[in-house]
A and B are shown apart, each in its own frame.
Chain A
Amino acid sequence: GQNIDQPTEMTATEGAIVQINCTYQTSGFNGLFWYQQHAGEAPTFLSYNVLDGLEEKGRFSSFLSRSKGYSYLLLKELQMKDSASYLCAVRRNSGNTPLVFGKGTRLSVIA
């Protein structure tokens, strides 16, 4: 089967750094995606990793270790608007196949 695990909820302080972990066990791997979703809205694409290592995009970075089936999303200089759910998703096969999503991590940023 397909298994993608993320913590259900996290809380962090404005201005701090938070790391959201994702572990996966899937039949096939062709890349891992992170999405941000505010309540009642559409998910928006944040990052993509297919090779091991860190990808940095402004305040957000994403890391992948394929041998460990592990990824994390790092958010720096947290802002109140970063309060949202963060979804980890895996593409198992070629580009035409859908993404398999984890259940998401709800992040609350507090003052």
Chain B
Amino acid sequence: DGGITQSPKYLFRKEGQNVTLSCEQNLNHDAMYWYRQDPGQGLRLIYYSQIVNDFQKGDIAEGYSVSREKKESFPLTVTSAQKNPTAFYLCASSNSIRQGFNSPLHFGNGTRLTVT
């Protein structure tokens, strides 16, 4: 079955360490996205990529970095510069280039990151 895989489901890190969250999709989607979800805050966009080797900052990109070297993969690095990294991170993809404006986002199951 096609889908989006995020790993690991739970991740614990010490303050000051960089950590990379994995996101892989086998849906052949062109666009991929990273959102952060905090209680009472809804989903906020960190970075997105519409095509391989290209990505754009979202609303809360500071302290994060991404790469898009392959169509299937869009890893997110949470750096030590991110002031409040503890959150639920959701990766998504969409087929927007082919389907147009009505293509929904398909989400992975998320990674819950705790930094102490």
Contacts and interface: CB of A to CB of B under 8 A. Distances in A.
A41 to B, nearest CB: 7
A45 B103 CA distance: 10
Contacts of A50: 101-102
B106 interface: yes
Contacts of B109: 41-42
A102 B96 contact: no
Contact of B90 (A43, A89, A94): A43
Q: Give the bracket for the number of chain B residues in contact with chain A.
A: 20 to 34
A87 B58 CA distance: 19
Interface in B88-116: 88, 90, 94, 96-97, 99-110, 112
B52 interface: no
Nearest to A85: B42
A95 B96 contact: yes
A42 B100 CA distance: 23
Interface of B: 31, 33, 35, 40-45, 48, 50, 58, 88, 90, 94, 96-97, 99-110, 112
